[in-house]
Amino acid sequence: MKKLFTFMLFCVILQAKEYVIDETHSSVSFSVKHLSVADTIGHFQEFSGTLDIENNAIKNLQGQVEIKSINTYNAARDEELLSTDFFHTKKAFLQSISYKNNILRTKLTINNITKEVTFKVKITGPIRNPSLSLKEKSTNTNPFTLQTTDMPLQNPHLKTNDSSTDCGCYVSYGDNVIGVELHGKINRFDFNIATTTPKELLGEYVNIKIILEGSN
């Protein structure tokens, strides 16, 4: 009976959930070949979105990035990328279409051009968000329950400044946390990005990597 109850609670966690994206632990990055020999890497520092997951499958994902927040770790290059040769609009948008077998079909809009782009997806979790607390152990130590619980560390004692005194330290479980990693690729010519620059100088394809951490 106890095992059945634990399994049912775990299933509740896996059902449809809207996750709040933690921008601090998320990123939107890209890479493109320069002179066909080395990757130039960059990311967008400002982005937002929503994420819905049901039974460990993406039901809805939408997001946007602020083009002005582009960062390739070179100020002169970033200034060039913000010219109309590369981007004509202030934002880029992503909207999911469908998800199956770890493949996410999306609509990606850049420079007011919308194309279908597929991403390979890896979902990790959900898990309970642990935090260290200095309090008495509760009777419920199951990290998959929906209530906040306490669970002793494998080494539950930390030394205080007084070497003769130990403090009992326990892990308190809070929000559900999930990780989503997406890998995709676009042809820059499809989105009117630097169309006058030959692919021998700037790669034809741009790799996109999106890492999201969400909680609810």
pLDDT at 36: 83
pLDDT at 17: 75
Report which of residues 12 and 110 the model is more confident about.
Answer: 110
Residues 63 and 82 in one domain: yes
Alpha-carbon Rg of the chain, whole angstroms? 22
Residues 203 and 167 in one domain: no
Residues 59 and 150 in one domain: no
Count of structural domains within the chain:
2
30/7 Cα distance (integer angstroms): 39
Residues 167 and 200 in one domain: no
pLDDT at 160: 42
pTM of the model: 0.75
Residues 102 and 191 in one domain: yes
Residues 16 and 78 in one domain: yes
Residues 56 and 85 in one domain: yes
> Which among 157, 174, 191 is the end of a domain?
174
Residues 77 and 6 in one domain: yes
User: Which DSSP string corresponds to 27-94?
Assistant: EEEEEEEETTTEEEEEEES-EEEEEEEETTEEEEEEEEEEGGGEE-S-HHHHHHHTSTTT-SSSEEEE
Residues 61 and 90 in one domain: yes
pLDDT at 156: 43
Residues 168 and 114 in one domain: no
Burial 15-31 (b: 16+ CB within 10 A, else e): eebebebeeeebebebb
Instruction: Using the predicted structure, report yes or no on whether residue 27 has a pLDDT greater than 90.
Output: yes
Residues 132 and 120 in one domain: no
Instruction: Using the predicted structure, report yes or no on whether residue 213 has a pLDDT greater than 50.
Output: yes
Residues 160 and 81 in one domain: no
Q: Could you read off the pLDDT of 127-169 as tens digits, one per residue? A: 877 765 655 554 445 544 433 444 444 444 444 444 444 555 5
Domain that holds residue 26: 2-126+176-215
- Give the chain's mean pLDDT: 81
CATH at residue 118? 2.40.128.110
